[in-house]
Structure 1
Amino acid sequence: MALTRSTGKHRAPSRATLRGANIARAATLATTGVCGSLATPALAAESTAPAASSEDTGTFMILAADAEADSLADEVADQAVTQKREAIAREEAAEEARRKAEAREREAQEARERAAREAERERLMNTYQAPVSGGVSTAYQTGGAYWSSGSHSGIDFHASYGTSVVSVGAGTVVEAGWGGAYGNNVVIRMNDGSYTQYGHLAAVHVAAGQSVLPGQQIGLAGSTGNSTGAHLHFEARTGAEYGSDVDPVAYLRSHGVHV
């Protein structure tokens, strides 16, 4: 015969059964995220605060390392840019210094050249030489019927026909061409204010108004005008007019010319 419980009477759940139910209910609450009024404060706090997993910690460390690497890369890049700018600035400064040095050297060279030209000009202005290479054939103030004034107003140099005749110093030509008894002649106003005359020329190679330098050819020796043969008649004067003559030998010697 089957045994039955009396209506309204139940056996109390065992301790093991209660423990199992509590565990199941705690699991359900943890899964759904709902604690209810049965959860203790500690359990509620633990259920609401996310727990840091090993995966989360690893990700954070990777991100931190990447950020640090990026910062270091940026710093290195900034240093490279700065160094490049500094190198460019140094190159530009060196180039500017080179240009200035070259400009100073050009100016110094130009100054040296100007000084050399000025020294040469001064030398030329103060240099005198004989008008031809031959010696004196007729002295100054030699008397005779050959000269209308009764005496020789200059000196004659030995010079064969066509010999080059040069200016004894620097000056300006004031007369070039036919000069009567002088034949073809050249008169030069010297830079010191004196005058020199070259007569009986076969040819004249300068023109009035032309500047001449010491040793510059002005014509060729000949025998034009009142002349008995090829030679050079040379006079030194204090003025352009006939009759202002001075001793040509003394004149040339006073300017350092050995005659």
Structure 2
Amino acid sequence: MAFTRATGKHRGASRAARTTRKFAGMATLAATGVVASVASPALAATSQTHAEDTGLQQAVVIGGELADRLEAQADAQHAAAEAAAAQAKAEAEAKRAAAEAKRRVEAAEKKAKAEREAKERAAREAERKRLNTFVAPVAGSYVSTGYKASSSLWSSGSHTGIDFHAASGTSVHAVGSGTVVEAGWGGSYGNNIVIKMHDGTYTQYGHLSSIGVSVGQTVTPGQQIGLSGATGNVTGPHLHFEARTGPDYGSDIDPIAYLRAHGVSV
């Protein structure tokens, strides 16, 4: 038999139903994010506690600290990059400066070497010219007796050299560079000097009144080696000059041709 509720005054919902509806409403409000005005103070307090415990504030704080750390790290990296770039630039400048200094030193050394070589060449050329320079044995004189002139005055029957006109005491010069191999009395030549020239030939200077060099001494072109005179077999003061292929008598060659071949005008 079915029973129906009578019309009229209704009974209130049961405790179980009310509780079920409350939880359902709270769930709905919680889902929408809205706190119901009908919630009890205790529920509101509980809801507030739950809101504070969501971790959003902590996440914001942590996020800010992380951003600061990232910014500081970026600044440090940027500063390190700038320092590295500055160091690289300084090293490059130092390398360029060192290279430039090295280039200047090498250029200076090259210039100094070139100057030394030029001086050495000039010195060698001067020495070559000096060695190859010849002068007349008596300045401003002339040949008074020629080569191979015949006369009974000479034991060989002919003149083995040439005579330069010169008063006694006139300066006599070495005709070129060489070394003295004889300096002293030479018999019929009187006081005489024999010089071995740098090219291997020999020259002789006879009838001197005085001798100014000694054996072994080197002489240069135009150097005074003695004074003319009339010692030995002579008829008057003059200079007897010979050119030879060897140091001894009998190796004579034409003195005029010899001097002219060396640039001396006689």
- Give the structure 2 partner of residue 223 of structure 1: 230
1:171-218 Cα distance to aligned partner (Å, 9 max, x none): 332111222222221111223332210012233233223333332332
Question: Which of 193, 208, 224 is matched with 2:200 structurally?
Answer: 193
Hey, what does 1:173 align to over in structure 2? 180
Summarize deviations over 1:141-167 as a string: whole Å, max 9, x none.
334454344443222112233333222
Picking from 69, 74, 92, the partner of 2:80 is 74
- The answer to whether structure 1 residue 202 and structure 2 residue 209 are counterparts is yes
- Whole-Å separation in 1 of the counterparts to 2:241 and 2:37: 159
Measure the CA separation in 1 of the matches of 2:199 and 2:47: 134
3-state DSSP of counterpart to 2:53: helix
Segment drifting more, 82-91 vs 148-157:
148-157
Q: Shift of the alpha carbon at 1:110? A: 2.8
Look up the SS of the partner of 1:51 in the other structure. helix
Question: 2-side partners of 1:249 and 1:140: how far apart?
Answer: 8
Structure 1 residues 61 and 186, CA, compared in 2 at 3 Å: closer, same or farther?
same
Unpaired stretches in structure 2, ≥5 consecutive residues: 1-35
1:62 CA displacement: 4.2
Change (3 A) 1:18 1:250: closer
Displacement of 1:18 in angstroms is 6.4
The CA distance in 2 between the partners of 1:88 and 1:149, in whole Å, is 87
Is 1:213 aligned to 2:234, yes or no?
A: no
1:167–1:23 CA distance, 2 compared to 1 (3 A)? same
Give TM-score, length-normalised by structure 1. 0.74
Change over 3 Å in CA distance of 1:251–1:53 after alignment to 2? closer
Counterpart residue number, 1:135: 142
How high is the TM-score relative to the length of structure 2?
A: 0.72
User: Which residue of the partner structure matches residue 101 of structure 1?
Assistant: 107
What letter is aligned with 2:171? S
**Unmatched segments (≥5 aa) in structure 1:** 1-14, 31-42
Length, aligned pairs only: 230
Residue number in structure 2 paired with 1:40: none
Shifted more, 195-204 versus 154-163: the winner is: 154-163
Change (3 A) 1:167 1:18: closer
- RMSD of aligned alpha carbons: 3.0
Deviations 1:213-240 (A, max 9, x none): 3323322223333344432111122322
Query: Paired residue for 2:9?
Result: none
1:21 aligned to 2:35? Answer: no
Give CA deviations for 1:47-102 in whole Å, capped at 9, x if unaligned. 25252587666555444433322222211111111111111111111122222222
Counterpart of 2:113, as a letter, is: E
